[in-house]
Structure 1
Amino acid sequence: MYQNYMNCVAESCWNQVYSCEYDELVAQYFGQCPVATEPIPYWPAPDNAPNGCSCNLGKVSQSLFKAQQEYSSCINKVNSGSVTDLAEMDTACGCCQVSAGLSAMYEICPNTIPANVGADVWLTTATLYGTMLHWDKCGPALDKYSCPNLGFADPVSNSNTFYNAKNLPPNGTQTLYNTGIATAITAPPSGSVFTWSQNTVMFTVTASPWKNSNTKPTATGSSGNSGSSGGSAASGTAGAAGSTKTGAATSLEQPILIAWLPVLSMLTMMMCT
């Protein structure tokens, strides 16, 4: 179903392939489908993509997937030492995972309300509702253990900082929105025909021709601020967005809820073993 949706976008709505909505569609695909693998057409969007999302959700998702993999590797390497040492290192692995995800969100989308990027959902699922890990108590573990030494790569390519609950940057105040006018892309980015594959299935996509008779909105919209500071992901109270965009810059006020489902499945498996 998701593959068909992505093919439909690439065929008929290719001027929206860098939008927030397409980013969310692909995030849902990875959350729901175990067979999902990269590369995915048009995902993640390039930096400053025309008619792109104000927050590159694709890059955020990639960072979270990486943090999950690194957490699994970290846990598997913890196999020696006293019971106390093992428990401390297990906690450090979990804290580094949570920190890596939140750090990526704050670095990639510094102007966006954290809840709209999925920070609160990530914090809740990655700590399994507080029963396995308490993020607000991760400071000592993150101070004692170096996340890179535990196998965690830099959260993002331009920052090696692993934030903790006490030193997160200020929350952004903007809602998610698509930049530029809807007709900013006037030719299929991958050409009129391209192929991509998932598992053993090869798809051939033929993009629909551009129709100059299409209505072209003239408003480009602008980034707006929420009526509140957005709360704090460190305390799990990031606020909902409060502004609505007009024109072609579409506001997306709901937080990304389904993108981080692999965290739940991973933790469930870990709890059952």
Structure 2
Amino acid sequence: MPRPTVFLSLVAMVSYSMALVNLTTTGCADASGLQKCLDDETMTTLACIHEADGSQVAILACGCTDYIRKYNCYSSHCWNRVNECEYQSYIVEYLALCPIAKLPIPYFPAPANASDSCSCNVGLVDLAILSNEIQLGACSANGNGLDPGANVQKDQGCKCCTLSGALSSMYALCPDTDPNLIGLSAIQEAATLADTSFDTCSPYLSKFNCVSDLGYSQIPGNTFYNPSNLPPTGTSTLFNVPGTVTAPASGAVFTYTNGADSQVYTITAANFKAGGKGDGNGNSPPAATAASWESIEKPLTQRLQMDANSGPLLCHPKPSPNMPQKIPSLVLFAVIGLVHSQTKLTTTGCIDVSGLQQCQNAADASTSQCIAQANADGSQFELLACGCVNYTLNYNCYATHCWNRVNECEYQAYVIEYLSQCLSAKLPVPYFPAPDNAADSCSCNIGNVRLAIDGSIDETATCTGNVNSIQETQGCFCCELSSALSSMYALCPTTDPTLIGLSLIQQTETDSNTPFDSCGPYLSAFNCTSDLGYAQIPGNTFYDPSNLPLTGTATLSNLPGTVTAPASGAVFTYTNGGDGLVYTISAANFNAGSGGTGSGSGSAPTATTQATSSKSSGGRRSINPGPFSLIFVLYFTSTIV
């Protein structure tokens, strides 16, 4: 069951072809050739998403491939503008959003002080920030021999050196540029996730020399600033410095091996003959050899998948000076958010309070060990897997020791959070969603609401792959929004929609660049069910902007009733959709046939894991990575632009 985690909704992956940074054709050596190349690749990406058949990895591969195809288009047809802010920012975005993106990439970063280049070399700034964030993983993993107090001090020193190295590099490379335009938000997000304000770093930067004590590489400008001596903040916008590129820097024809898919691409410069003179006839050579999403899918799967039998990662990405990796510091900080979830599973009123507390404590201890091992291995993806496993352990604890409260808002919201945060998460999950009108259930069946929203996103992938016009594609986006909103109103008409998924729908509006207010004409022109193939929805009415029901105002609460027996029985097994493992859940303090009377033994059985995983037999849809299900929490990459 795919989850719409920020930009990894299926609509957002369609929007991958409409990147945040747009590649424009004005002033290009071959403007018409570039436009045709970009248009062709957009259609290819839409077809790729349809062919992906719901596989999250395949869809992500489509997005990565879209970037590769389009920057190859630009290198062929707009080689005279590759030093400019536009192209360089596009590559920075690709490195942030595609988890296997690596150098080399044509014409990136631009040479220092090149003709017609960006006023700030955003490529060098991005690589400098990445380098410092990469070094945090190695720095944090090197304190195993220290006593606990010294290790805490050193870890804080590592965090402060990462923040200082990133900030200092930015100031050294582009002292006059407004830092908000060149990566400050990424550094601020890192500081927030690390729970480390740079303002508090002076003692640690005085205690530790980042280079000699903690092993950081020297940075541009050779100075690790502390909070007291940061240079004045620049205020300049980004612009292109004067100059004209009259010949492609890499020659009329060149080949390169792409770092992401290891494919060799041939780039032929349009409208250029060796010697620097355009041929003047408007001929447009073919774009670079097309990237294949299948060639991306395999390495991407390896990055996101673990061997279920042996446990370790199939691929441990290691930092390389030539191949920037995905910000392990942000991964390290983000996993803290996964382990300390926003929704708390409380023990009050549970059938086995002490057993649940013991089980949760054991889960936290196991997760701490997992994080320590991941740090020792220097693996950012193991860290994220630890967060996913923490969710699984905790909801299994709850299903065992608090089965009498699983219908309540708290548990249902916890599972929704798991499905949102963990890319490998899939149903089944015990006791989710709750049955309609069950005893002691949430006033709004938030599980059904979430599944309805997810269903609308799933169907949009199919819809956009089956249509042939821009109008129909826009109709798909509008039916997606209408389906999600209408389902929410039908299932929980009196509940405040901001509490049950409205923000997710609003994010989908943003991802698809489709405000629901603009959807009236498309919902009149197309019947979502008969014309575009959407399934019927709860309430059987696809609302348009003019006839939405009144917005509810009620908060979430638990309905009256008492669960006296576990709905799934005293003992049951299930195959977890996220990791493919079979778990046995034994209901605490319940004897089958006792009429629901607790045993009073206070025993604390815990969920057990079968020795083998239950793997699907094949197909791109089946990604069963094992007990430490690897995920890619893409929300944090959106801060790096």
TM-score range, shorter chain: 0.7 to 0.9
1:105 equivalenced with 2:170 (yes/no): yes
Structure having the higher helix fraction is: 2
Identity %: 36
- What is aligned with 2:229? 167
Write the letter of the residue equivalent to 1:176. Answer: L
Say whether the 8 Å CA contact 1:193–1:206 is kept in structure 2. Answer: yes
Q: Residue by residue, what CA displacement relative to the aligned partner does 1:7-54 show, whole Å, maximum 9, x if unpaired?
A: 011111111111111111111111112222222211111111010000
Cα distance in 1 for partners of 2:332, 2:82 equals 29
2:271/2:279 contact within 8 Å kept: no
Structure 2 match to 1:176: 238
Does the aligned pair in 1 maintain the 2:164–2:224 contact within 8 Å? Answer: yes
CA distance in 2, matches of 1:72, 1:171: 29
SS in 1 for 2:256: strand
Partner of 1:255: none
Instruction: Specify the code of the residue in structure 2 equivalent to 1:70.
Output: Q
Aligned to 2:204: 141
Distance 1:266 1:37, change over 3 A: farther
- Separation of aligned partners in 2, 1:15 and 1:267: 40
Alpha-carbon distance in structure 1 between the residues aligned to 2:90 and 2:200: 34
Q: Structure 1 pair 187/11, CA: closer, same or farther in 2 (3 Å)?
A: same
TM-score between the two structures when normalised by the length of structure 2? 0.33
Q: Does 1:185 align with 2:245?
A: yes
CA deviation after TM superposition for structure 1 residue 176, in Å: 0.6
Match of 1:82 among 130, 147, 170: 147
Match of 1:197 in 2: 257
Q: Which amino acid aligns with 1:64?
A: I
Counterpart of 2:190? 126
Tell me if structure 2 keeps the 8 A contact 1:101–1:122: no
- State the 1:261 CA deviation: 7.2
Deviations 1:156-191 (A, max 9, x none): 1xx22101122101112211101115xx01111111
**Highest Rg: 1 or 2?**
2
Q: Cα deviations across residues 206-264 of structure 1 (Å, max 9, x unaligned)?
A: 110155879xxxxxxxxxxxxxxxxxxxxxxxxxxxxxxxxxxxxxxxxxxxxx97353
Calculate the aligned-residue CA RMSD, in Å: 2.3
Paired with 1:124 and 1:267, the residues of 2 have a C-alpha distance of 12
Report the counterpart of residue 333 of structure 2 in structure 1: 267
User: Alpha-carbon deviations, 1:61-82, whole Å to 9, x = none?
Assistant: 1111211221111001011223
Highest RCO, 1 vs 2 (Cα 8 Å, sep ≥ 6):
1
> SS at 2:108's partner residue?
coil
Distance 1:197 1:166 in 2: 44
Number of residue pairs matched?
223
Give the Cα separation in 2 of the matches to 1:212 and 1:18: 22
4+ residue segments displaced more than 6 Å: none
TM-score by length of 1: 0.76
Partner of 2:182: 117
For 1:1-273, list aligned pairs within 5 A.
1-119=66-184, 121-129=185-193, 132-148=195-211, 149-156=213-220, 159-181=221-243, 184-198=244-258, 199-210=261-272, 262=327, 263-269=329-335, 273=371
CA shift for structure 1 position 266: 4.5
